[in-house]
Structure formats: structure tokens, C-alpha cells
Homo-oligomer: A and B are copies of this chain.
């Protein structure tokens, strides 16, 4: 949209407020992602999130329809953040494809270390709490895993094309195997307060991938 295009706004709502509302909503989601990745959905109260951001208690429903709506929006924000992280590594043509996967694992480890291994993966946390969550969460969580799986599959296919992996590698199934185990590694890293489980899982996964016949 160029500068001369008149913008359409809903009547009765001043332009400034829309921007402020979006900023506050984004701040609540950032805070929510941090708290939910650390403690999960059930253990975190909306009031704590509002207090941490300095938003008056009564105004929550100005930003979100419900706690579920807030959780789903936080999940969507997290999925966007994580997809960008995956693209940064898996599409990094400066490295051979398998080294990109190593770089992602090292980055994930560094990210967890930065928060003292207290924060896990929002997708894993919500997945573990599934039975206490509403149905829309399940569909959304499955969709996020499917998205991650597709991104890693493409990177493994690039490794096949580069001759790093055997030509008949079933990239989609290897990718499914990776993400299945990865959430377990994140859980163990939090429990151990150490990145060793992430590194162990990454090392064994990469070593197990089928190489081309010599």
C-alpha cells in the first residue's frame, strides 16, 4: 500500500489505539511464550502474564477472547518464530545440508542454555498437556509438527542431491523419526539442566542416516 492510499479503519476507533493494542497484544504473546515454554499452559495464570507486562487485570478480554485463544495465539507466534529459525539453518546454502542440521542442533542447545535449560519447547509442552487442552490445540500442534517435518525433509533431500546421503533415503520418514525423538531430547535436557541429551540425540541421528555406498 503506498502513502496516498487512504486506509480504512473501523469507525469510532482512533488510529493510535489500533497500533497500541497490537503492540500490547504482541508483548502479551512474547511474555506468554516465555512463561508457557517454561511452565506449561495449565500452570500459568493469565493474571501473571498481564502483571509481567504491566497490563491492567481487567483488560485481558480486550486482547484475547479466552485463555484458549491466548494459548493458540502464543502457539502460532512460537511456530512462526521456530519456522524462521529452521529456515535460517536448513536453507543456509553456505553449509552442506547435513552441517545445517548440526548447526540447528547447536543453536537449539545454545538457546536452551541461555535460559538455564528451564525453557523447553512450547509445542512439546502443549503436546504433553494435550488431554487437559481443547481439541483445536491438537489439530494445531499436529500441523506444526507436519510443518517442521516438511522443512527437515527438504533439507535431507538436499543432502541426497548433494551426495551426502544414499539416493534411496526415505527423507520424509527420517524427518519424522527426528522430530519424534527430538521432543524427548528437549524434555531430558530440561530435566538434566544440560544440553547433553540434545547433542547425544543429534549425534546418533546424524550417524544413523544412510550414507551413499563408497
Residues in chain A within 8 A of chain B (CB atoms): 38-40, 42-43, 118, 120, 124-125, 127-132, 138, 141-142, 145, 173-174, 176-177, 179-188, 190-192, 197, 200-201, 204, 207-208
A sample of 6 cross-chain residue pairs with beta-carbon separation below 8 angstroms, ordered by A number, consists of A128-B187, A141-B191, A180-B184, A181-B181, A181-B184, A208-B208
A181 touches B185 (CB 8 A): yes
**Distance of A128 Cα from B121 Cα, bound (Å):** 10
A43, A125, A138, A184: residue with the most chain B Cβ atoms closer than 10 Å = A184
Q: Which of B129, B176, B177, B185 contacts A43 (CB 8 A)?
A: B129
Q: Are A132 and B40 in contact (CB under 8 A)?
A: yes
Which applies to chain A's interface (DSSP): helix, strand, loop or mixed? helix
Contacts of A145 in B (CB 8 A): 188, 191
CA distance A69 to B52 in the complex (A): 31
User: Would you call A180 and B183 a contact (CB within 8 A)?
Assistant: no
Q: B208, A180: Cβ atoms under 8 Å?
A: no
* Given A40-B42, A40-B129: A185 and B191 interface contact (C-beta under 8 Å): no
Q: Are B183 and A201 in contact (CB under 8 A)?
A: no
CB pair A142 B192 closer than 8 Å: yes
B-chain residues with CB within 8 Å of residue A184 when the two chains form the complex: 124, 179-187
Shortest distance between the CB of A35 and any CB in chain B (Å): 10
- What residues on B are CB-neighbors of A182 within 8 Å? 181, 184
> Which of A38, A39, A129, A191 has the most chain B CB atoms closer than 10 A to its own CB?
A191
Residues of B contacting A191 with CB < 8 Å? 127, 130, 138, 141-142, 145
* Among A145, A174, A197: residue with most chain B CB under 10 A: A197
Known: A181-B182, A183-B183; 10 extra A-B contacts, CB below 8 A, are: A40-B42, A127-B191, A130-B191, A174-B204, A176-B197, A177-B204, A184-B184, A187-B187, A207-B208, A208-B208
